[in-house]
Amino acid sequence: AQQGELDRRWSRLATRAEDVRADLEAAGRTIRLTGDDLPRLEIVVDSSDTSLSPPAAAAWLARRHEELAAAYDERVQATLGELLGSTFIEHLQDHLSRMRQLIRATNATLGKHPTGTARTALRILAHPRDAVERGVVEALENSDMLNDEVSAQVRLFLRGRIEEAREKAASLGEAEWRDRLAAALDYREWFDIELEKRSGTSGRWTPLTPSAFAGLSGGARAVMLMLPLVATLAALYDSMDGAPRPLWLDEAFDGLDTDNRAVVLDLFREFDLDVLVAGPGRLVNAPTVPVAAIYQVVRAADPDPGADLTLEVWAGGELHLVELPPATSRDAVPPPQDGPDLFGVGGDE
């Protein structure tokens, strides 16, 4: 009877030890069941492969836990001290101010370029997503941060975001929780961005809803999609004196007919952008484009192998073929030093 009981307990111990081993080895540790007459459990807790008894292993792990907790708390406090300090809060204030300035400049640019026969204008609005974020944004933008109450409000909000990053990293088993801080403290995520439209100078501003957008013509929809992007680019370029004004588009105007493509190209001309377009065919030979260069990749003329380029200039509403030297001698031809930017469709060209 005693032997039978011993065998049952041995079997149960071996089964449980296998389960524990599977869990431990997933974390770089293991457990051993040794001994023939008297079974003995040994635990390996580090890479030295040293075996410890369960009480000794528990004590070793407890000391290691305390060391890691102290180091973790030190890093957490250092991070909190850095992010809740006045320097970071001033950094947030500066970025919020620059965001507002960009939106104002973009809206001013949009206001100067109404489109269509109804002279429809757009404007961009940025609203804090909820009451908490609204209070923090107002405190950062409108209050004296030397005020203890305002400062405490902002710090409490930021501390909550930092704790959320820690908790999310812990739930996902991520070792470095600070990697999530950039997303947790990204002030752009505190806002909802909306578009409003107005017809004429006497109309009222109304939201540009999906249903209102769907009711527009194909050309109007294309312009509405492009306007905020193009106006933001133009506002940024206007803030940099003498900067080039490039806009590069790949596979542009997909699904637009000739008339609607001309509307979008005229938008680029109004904003005086230097446009480079890549596509399956001629795309910029529209009446609204004053001048442009059109390069096409073609098969090289016999007997030359490979590919070559053809050049056409669109000017005065007509295409003009430009003879290029043979590809084999093109490297010997110096590039032109003067003349217009052939890729531009700006209003001055």
Q: What is the pLDDT of residue 125?
A: 94
Separation of first and last alpha carbons in the chain:
105
One-letter amino acid at 55 equals P
**pLDDT tens digits, residue range 239-265?**
888 889 999 998 878 777 787 788 888
pLDDT(346) > 50: no
Q: Higher-confidence residue: 84 or 265?
A: 265
258/229 Cα distance (integer angstroms):
22
Look at 41-55, 144-158, 164-178, 274-288 and tell me which has the smallest mean pLDDT. 144-158
Q: Where would I find the beta strands (DSSP E) of 246-290?
A: 246-250, 274-278
pLDDT of 344: 44
- Burial of 320 from C-beta contacts in 10 A (0-12 / 13-18 / 19+): exposed
Q: How many C-beta neighbours within 10 Å does residue 11 have?
A: 10
Please state, in angstroms and rounded to a whole number, the distance separating the CA atoms of residues 243 and 263: 26
DSSP code string of 285-332: -STT-SEEEEEEEEEPPTT--SEEEEEEEEETTEEEEEPPPPGGGGGG
For residue 347, pLDDT over 60 is answered with no
Three-class secondary structure of residue 248 per DSSP? strand
Query: What are residue 48's phi and psi, to 5 degrees?
Result: -75, -10
Q: Which residues pair with 146 in a beta bridge?
A: none
Residue whose tokens read 């635990």: 43
Nearest-angstrom CA–CA distance, 161 and 181: 8
At 132, the amino acid letter reads V
Q: How many helices (H) and strands (E) does the chain have?
A: 9, 11
The confidence score (pLDDT) of residue 72 equals 62
pLDDT digits (tens, 9 = 90+) for 96-113: 999 999 999 899 888 888
Which residues have a Cβ under 8 Å from the Cβ of 152 and sit 6 or more positions away? none
